[in-house]
Structure formats: C-alpha cells, structure tokens
C-alpha cells in the first residue's frame, strides 16, 4: 500500500473513532458564562457522560424520544441539557443550544419558590435562602419535637429577642414544613418582615403522579402542559383548562427537574425557563478537560 494511502486511512479511522465516542459515550461543551462559578469557570471545557442517565437516542425529530438503560438525575449533580424554552420552537430538542446547571429538584420533590416564574426582569429569588424567625420561649419543647419529627437536626438557636422569644433560622422549605407540622399551635414571626419574600410549595412533576393546581403554580403548569406535553392548555378566570376541560390537577407523562445556577444573580436557569423535561437531559458533567486556571486539568466536577 502506498504511504499516502496509509496516512489517509489512519486519519479516517481516527475521525470515525472520535465521532463514535462523541456520539455514543462522551460529549464536550464550553462554559459560556459565570453562572456556575466557583464550580465551573467561564471558558472551561467540560466532558459530559452520555450514559450517566442512559443514552439518549439522537434525531428525536425522526425517531422520537428514547433512552437506553435510563437512570435518574440525582439532586446536586451538574447536568448538561438542551434549552427547554427556545425562541424557535420548531427546532428539534437535540439540536437546541446547550445549558449546564446543578439539579436541585428531582421528580416528586417540593420546592419553596415565589410565584413569579418564567418571566424576564423578575426579582432574583433563591429557594435556599434562610431567614430569621422568632417564637415564644414556652413553645421550645414543641419546636424541638417538631424539628426532630421532620429530621431537621442541625437547626440550632440563633439568639433571643429583647422580649425573651427564641430565634431560629429557616429556609423557605423548612419554614413550610414546620408550619404545616405545628398546625397552628404557635406561629413563626419573621424577624425582618421587610426582607421576607412570599414563598409557595411547587411540586416537581413526576411521571404518572398527579400534581395539584393552585393559583401560584397555575401559570407554570399551563406553560409546561402546552410546551412540553403538547396539549391545549390555558387559564380562564381562576381555572385551568386542558383540552377544553377544567382541571384541578394534572398528571404529567414524563419526569421533570429543577435546575439552578451557582450564582443566584444569574437567572439563566429554571427561574427563567421552568422545569426541565427528561427528554432534554443529555448527561452528567464529569471532568474539566480545558481548564481556565492552573491545577484544574481533568478535575472531577462535583
């Protein structure tokens, strides 16, 4: 065989090998913004495992959505996914731009969020933000029992008010759980009410499990039904209609996830585009192959 043919064959084999690996096993993306700092920095190249959650069959516009050996996205993992709400909805899911964020809500979880979702220009809201609350000192024994029953074991007293009331710090979700469990026996009073933000429970949709519709989640639910479930859904008055019928709950056909940036100021995450359907999930971010600074080459992403 002539030498140049040997070189050509080697090049073709190398190209085919790269294409097979990228198609079946690992893909790569670059971090476009500062939203995931200090975990991932702008400009870094990241390796993503396509089998992390099962291999998603390409060409969804032709073959539909299929995933071989599917597995669940776990809370806290950094995930690569396609844009759930592109400007051009005619583009096939697997051809849309890529986003990378941390999963903080898995199917069936309850998140405490504000009701202003999927709207540009809304105030920044972090569901994990903690606030200080006071309650009567004589209710401390009841509080200890409530916290113990909920498994909130690391919530220590933060101080005392001049009136002698006790002070503790709760996240929005912890406040919701504690309030429900106390059932009106005593109230938690915000220490700084001017800084408090009204939060509501949002259930992350799980395939086959009905999600109740309330005034605070109606707009988000309708958007998801219309955009991802591909059904005619709208709000008329205070009622949600799906395919012309009033609904107080809806059962979704697939699992969804809530994705969040590390940077609470960067709202290019689920606060902007809502829950991410499993059809849009590509894989888990594994390692940094193109670092932005010294000592980060092939660092494991956590």
Structural domains of the chain in order of their starting residue, each with its CATH number: 3-104+268-290 (2.10.109), 130-195 (3.30.70)
Band of pLDDT at residue 106, cut at 50, 70 and 90: very high
CA–CA separation, 212 and 200 (whole Å): 13
DSSP states along 216-232? TTHHHHHHHHHHTS---
Q: What is the mean pLDDT of residues 130-138?
A: 88
Q: In this predicted model, which residue has the larger pLDDT, 86 or 1?
A: 86
Contact by Cβ (8 Å): 38, 262: yes
pTM of the model: 0.73
Q: What is the mean pLDDT of residues 138-152?
A: 88
Mean pLDDT for all residues in the chain: 84
pLDDT at 101: 92
| Radius of gyration of the chain from its Cα atoms, rounded to whole angstroms | 23
pLDDT at 158: 83
CA–CA separation, 221 and 274 (whole Å): 9
Band of pLDDT at residue 122, cut at 50, 70 and 90: very low
Q: Looking at the predicted structure, is the pLDDT value of residue 112 above 80?
A: no
Helix and strand totals (H; E) in the chain? 6, 20
Sort strands 245-247 and 239-242 into parallel, antiparallel or unpaired: antiparallel
Neighbouring residues of 74: CB distance < 8 A, sequence distance ≥ 6: 103, 106
Q: Hunting for tokens 């509080």 — which residue is that? A: 143
Contact by Cβ (8 Å): 50, 104: no
- What percent of the chain stands above pLDDT 70? 83
Token couple for 275: 């829950």
pLDDT at 19: 60
DSSP states along 150-176? HT--S----EE-TTS-EEEEEEHHHHH
CA–CA separation, 260 and 78 (whole Å): 9
Contact by Cβ (8 Å): 98, 81: yes
pLDDT at 173: 72
pLDDT at 272: 81
Band of pLDDT at residue 58, cut at 50, 70 and 90: confident
Band of pLDDT at residue 13, cut at 50, 70 and 90: low
Q: Ranked by mean pLDDT, which of 24-38, 50-64, 119-133 comes out on top?
A: 50-64
Q: Hunting for tokens 């259930």 — which residue is that? A: 203
Band of pLDDT at residue 123, cut at 50, 70 and 90: very low
CA–CA separation, 227 and 162 (whole Å): 52
Specify the range with the lowest mean pLDDT, choosing from 107-121, 215-229, 233-247, 264-278: 107-121
Segment 221-267, tens digit of pLDDT: 998 999 999 999 999 888 999 999 999 999 999 999 999 887 766 66
């Amino acid at each position: 065989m002539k030498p140049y043919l040997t070189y050509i064959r080697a090049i073709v084999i190398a190209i085919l090998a790269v294409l097979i690996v990228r198609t079946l096993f690992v893909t790569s993306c670059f971090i476009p913004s500062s939203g995931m700092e200090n975990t991932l920095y702008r400009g870094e190249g990241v390796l993503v495992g396509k089998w992390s959650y099962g291999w998603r069959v390409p060409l969804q516009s032709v073959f539909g959505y299929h995933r071989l050996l599917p597995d669940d996205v776990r809370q806290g993992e950094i995930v690569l996914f396609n844009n759930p709400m592109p400007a051009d909805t005619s583009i096939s899911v697997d051809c849309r731009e890529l986003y990378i964020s941390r999963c903080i809500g898995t199917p069936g979880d309850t998140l405490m969020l504000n009701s202003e979702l999927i709207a540009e220009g809304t105030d920044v809201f972090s569901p994990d933000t903690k606030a200080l609350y006071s309650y009567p000192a004589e209710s401390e024994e009841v509080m200890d029992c409530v916290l113990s029953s909920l498994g909130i074991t690391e919530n220590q007293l933060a101080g005392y008010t001049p009136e002698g009331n006790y002070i503790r710090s709760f996240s929005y979700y912890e406040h919701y759980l504690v309030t429900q469990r106390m059932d009106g026996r005593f109230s938690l009073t915000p220490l700084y009410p001017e800084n408090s933000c009204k939060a509501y429970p949002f259930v992350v949709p799980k395939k086959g499990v009905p999600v109740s519709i309330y005034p605070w989640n109606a707009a988000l639910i309708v958007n998801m039904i219309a955009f991802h479930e591909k059904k005619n859904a709208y709000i008329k008055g205070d009622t949600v209609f799906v395919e012309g019928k009033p609904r107080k709950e809806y059962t979704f056909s697939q699992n969804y996830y809530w994705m969040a940036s590390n940077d609470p100021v960067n709202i290019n995450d689920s606060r902007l585009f809502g829950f991410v359907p499993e059809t849009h999930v590509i894989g888990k971010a594994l390692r940094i192959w193109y670092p932005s600074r010294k000592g980060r080459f092939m660092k494991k992403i956590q």
